[in-house]
Amino acid sequence: MKIHLNRFLRRVRIHGGEFDTSARAMYRVSEKGSLITYEKAFSTRADLRIVRGSTIERKQMSTKTTFKRVALVAVAALGLGVLSVAPSQAVSQADKLTISAATAAILTGETATATLTGSFVSGATANGDTLTVVASATSLPDGAAIMPTLVASDTVNAVVTIPGAALTAKIQSIATASATSGKITVNVVVPANSKAGVYAYKFTPSVESGSTLQGSAVTFTVTVTAAPADDTAVSAAKSTTWLSTGESVTSTSTTTTDSATVVAKDLSASAQAATIEVVTKNAAGTTLATNPALTVIVKSGTPGTVGSQAKATSSAMTSKGRAITTAAGDVIGIFSDGTEGVSEVEIYSGTTLLATKKVTFFGAVASYGVTNSVTGSIAVGGTGVLTVTGADKAANATAAPSVHAVSSDTSVATVPAGAATTHTVTGVKSGTATITLCDTAACAAATITKTIVVKVGAVTAKTVTLTFDKSAPTAGEKVTATLTALDASGNAVADGARLLLAAGGFVPSVTVSGSTIPTIETVTLVSGVATYIFYAPAAGAVTFTATEGTATDSTTKGKIEQSLTVSNPGLDASTAAAEAAELAAQDATDAALDATEAAQEAGALAQEAVDLVTALSAEVTKLIAGVRASITYLTKLVMKLAAK
């Protein structure tokens, strides 16, 4: 038998341990079909020492190493055997969990719904693959304990079950090697009067042991708002707070009118100055079934005390202090503490300020104020109304005082006798009168007085004039025109609409922009004056002309006329520049003409010079010819003499 140590089987190598790539499992022999084990070949080779270059590792191989190799071969053989056997447990593939909606918004008393869909590809064994979904809460409002409920829905090659734990659902395949899916309905039921807020849930998938999870968890967030009927939180913006004068506890509802500020005259601590009623509502504007208890505080630095009592009781309310807590549905009373000033009462629901109401407690009237219904002049035969107001020594407004009035000139204006809060002034003739208001009859020995000057004017004008606030405006400048109407006494014509102009009103000599100067007969006067505006035109004179109307004393109905001159710096500058340019052009023309004349004169002189030069040249030519003839003659003469 011949052993070829330098040849070995290809592809069969053992790696790792104390062997490297040079180690061979067996040698090939030359005899047909003969194989020897590696250890025998190794022994033979060692004895015969055929190959002197053998590696050290081959010399050091032992029986232990051989056993390891045999074990390795056995393991490999077993592994190949396992591959040929069907798996004992199926493995699901491509599992996925989705949800139809990640968010929802509902009111208390409603249900939020979403659909979970679990899908996978089942393995080779029927009824062996399962996708499990477990629900959990990740966030709930304080004190809430609402969890979702799961309900089996549509399936494909699967059955969906909800085991005893209502927060778990299972999707199990019923066919081998097929697409499998199942749907689970998620219901979040929020009963009425539940906590409003955010309810957040997570749905986590898992697969049977032996499978690798591919899908991931999904979430469902439900935002719950209290239904109007369930919302008991008081809204300051929607609630209403009403203030009325006096005691209203024993009367019917006071919520028909509201006073921003109540003026209370009585400073007695036992008298109720005003009543406050609060109607609490939630954010939806729904009146709460039961008004909550309220906190009522008199603001620091302001006078007054407060009390409360059930509405429509038979007994009157009494003061309880500067800070109180009411019973549900109570009305609130405000009382004087004997101090003048404005009481500011704050009403709270918990820490929410619902309203601040004011009551003015004033002392005795110390001064008067008065307004005249006629701004300027009362017409002769017409009337004006004087309205009186009062204030105490601290300048707090009081109730309207009843006063007496006296006219300084009854021939101009009269007032009625007797005390009243308002007095009517009647115009008698054109002029001025002073009306005195006081706290005693005929203002004798009065301790409080107030005077007002009233003017009376005729309803027709003696003179009507138009004036401008600018006599020389620039182009485009705003001009204010004032029309003044005076009666025969030189006083302002009475306030009101007066027919001071004839038909057509004022007519400008040129078109002006933005004019409000009347183009009709009627002029509305205040203290005998009416004002208008217009914008100055481009340039030049502008005249406004009108004819007197029927509300003037003139029988000839003369003209009303006024003029002004408009300047235009830009136009003036342009004109000046044009004139300067024209003058310069004229000067240039004159200079050109002068230059032409000079050129002509120079040409004439040049021609004369040319003529003189020509004549002189002719003369010189003649002289030269004469000289040449003389020279010829002399030459001939000399030659003749020389010949002799």
Task: Note the pLDDT tens digit of each residue in 370-396.
Answer: 999 999 999 999 999 999 999 988 888
Contact present, 436 and 408 (Cβ < 8 Å): yes
Q: Is the pLDDT of residue 68 over 50?
A: no
- 598 band by pLDDT with thresholds 50, 70 and 90: confident
71 pLDDT tier (thresholds 50, 70, 90): very low
Distances (CA, A) of 387 to 116, 400, 412: 78, 9, 20
Q: Do domains 93-225 and 463-567 have the same CATH topology?
A: yes
Q: Which CATH architecture has domain 93-225?
A: Sandwich (2.60)
Residue 229: how many CB atoms within 10 A of its CB?
15
Handedness of CA 227, 232, 234, 239 (dihedral sign): positive
- CA distances to 3, 106, 252 from 66, in Å: 20, 76, 113
Q: Is 78 helix (H, G, I), strand (E, B) or coil?
A: helix
Pairing of strands 449-457, 377-379: parallel
Q: Is the CB of residue 169 less than 8 Å from the CB of residue 133? A: yes
User: What pLDDT shows up at residue 128?
Assistant: 67
Write down the domain spans for the chain. Answer: 3-83, 93-225, 240-361, 367-452, 463-567, 587-644
Residue type present at position 150: L
pLDDT at 579: 74
pLDDT of residue 573: 61
| Per-residue model confidence as pLDDT tens digits over 186-240 | 999 999 889 999 999 999 999 887 778 999 999 999 999 988 777 888 999 999 8
Out of 15-29, 30-44, 120-134, 226-240, give the one with best mean pLDDT.
226-240
Rounded Cα distance between 281 and 239, Å, is 5
- Whether the predicted pLDDT of 173 surpasses 50: yes
CATH number of the structural domain 367-452 = 2.60.40.1080
How far is 116 from 111, CA to CA, in rounded Å?
A: 16
**CA nearest to 493, candidates 460, 530, 454:** 460
Which CATH number does the domain 463-567 belong to among 2.60.40.1930, 3.40.630.10, 2.40.37.10, 1.10.3660.10? 2.60.40.1930
Superfamily of domain 240-361: Immunoglobulins (2.60.40.10)
Q: Counting Cβ atoms within 10 Å, is residue 199 exposed (0-12), middle (13-18) or buried (19+)?
A: buried
Cα 408 to Cα 454: distance, rounded to the nearest angstrom: 10
Whether the pTM exceeds 0.75: the reply is no
Q: How far apart are CA 129 and CA 206, in angstroms?
A: 11
Report which DSSP code applies to 513: B
Return all residues near 495 (Cβ < 8 A) that are at least 6 apart: 374, 375, 376, 377, 378, 379, 457, 525, 526, 527
